Amino acid sequence: MDWGLKNRLSRIIQPEDNRVIMLAVDHGYFLGPISGLEEPQKTIVPLMPHADALMLTRGLLRNCIPPDSNTPIVLRMSGATSIERDILPDEGLTVSLEDAVRLNVAAITLSIFVGTEHERQTLEALSELVDFGEEYGIPVLAVTAVGRELGKKDARYLSLACRIAAEQGAHFVKTYFCDDFEKVTSSAMVPIVIAGGRKCETEMDVFEMVYEALEQGAAGCDMGRNIFQNPHPLAMIQSVRAIVHGNAKPKEALEMYNELKVEKVAAV
């Protein structure tokens, strides 16, 4: 791995423990103003000091994120679909590679849709980003199994999709947690981060999922809704961070969450 690429990746996956907590806020690229991100700046900016990286679109970046921020940016490069139509996997690249450089991003990302009729176009787009990333020293994050693909989130499918992404050259891969997750991480060749998925019923469900994923070889999480849709997002991100970087157990994270949410309420 070339120096620049390794340097950028080290800003995201922390070299001290090879782990990462990313905050995913790119949902609007096909979902519009989803709950929690109606006024993105108000939600995102207070959370940034607790995230190792921010995953988002260029529109959100330019409109809502202070340019003097130091949080590394993972820029979504794919899209052109919406929840209004039934063809979410029909994505293409929507951002020029020059614009990614102009925005000084730490990594670029896109979704791939293995097993759909759009498999080829999304894997070719991944290859295009990897060619560019290798040339200019920018790591590529491949996102697997978003949307209706969630129906297939078993270890067989996810290990297939993650390994294909790595074989195409992705430097790290984002996917969903599943039973036998170790099968996914052990065969992927590159670091795996988990998405949070739809909001879980309880905070403990989130903490247990993150803890288990790490135990089974994940490098961390790239979490969105389970943080920004929580009634206490600041308490939530700090508690998830304690699991990722502080080796906190789920029960300890819950205690931390309960303490932090009270402090926040008291401060208001």
Q: For residue 222, what is the DSSP state?
A: E
Smallest distance from ligand R5P to CB 266, Å: 28
Given the complex with ligand R5P, which of 36 and 250 has the nearer CB atom?
36
Closest approach, Cβ 121 to ligand R5P, in A, equals 17
Is 196 within 8 Å of 228 (Cβ atoms)? no
Closer to ligand R5P by Cβ: residue 177 or 260:
177
Residues that bind ligand R5P (CB under 6 A): 24, 26-27, 55, 111, 143, 146, 195-197, 222-226
Structure tokens at 55: 């995953």
Catalytic option among 153, 174, 183, 261: 174
183 a catalytic residue: no
Q: State both tokens at 128.
A: 């295009």
* Cβ 30 vs Cβ 79: under 8 Å: yes
Report yes or no: 74 and 111 within 8 Å, Cβ to Cβ: no
Which residue lies nearer to ligand R5P by CB, 83 or 262?
83
Instruction: Give the strand pairing for 78-79 and 92-93.
Output: antiparallel
Closer to ligand R5P by Cβ: residue 226 or 238:
226
Cβ atoms 244, 210 nearer than 8 A: yes
We find the least distance from the C-beta atom of residue 61 to ligand R5P, in angstroms, to be: 14
Q: How far is the CB of 147 from ligand R5P (least distance, A)?
A: 7
Quickly count: other Cβ atoms within 10 Å of residue 227's Cβ: 29
Cα 257-262-267 angle, rounded to 5 deg? 125
Report the catalytic residues. 174
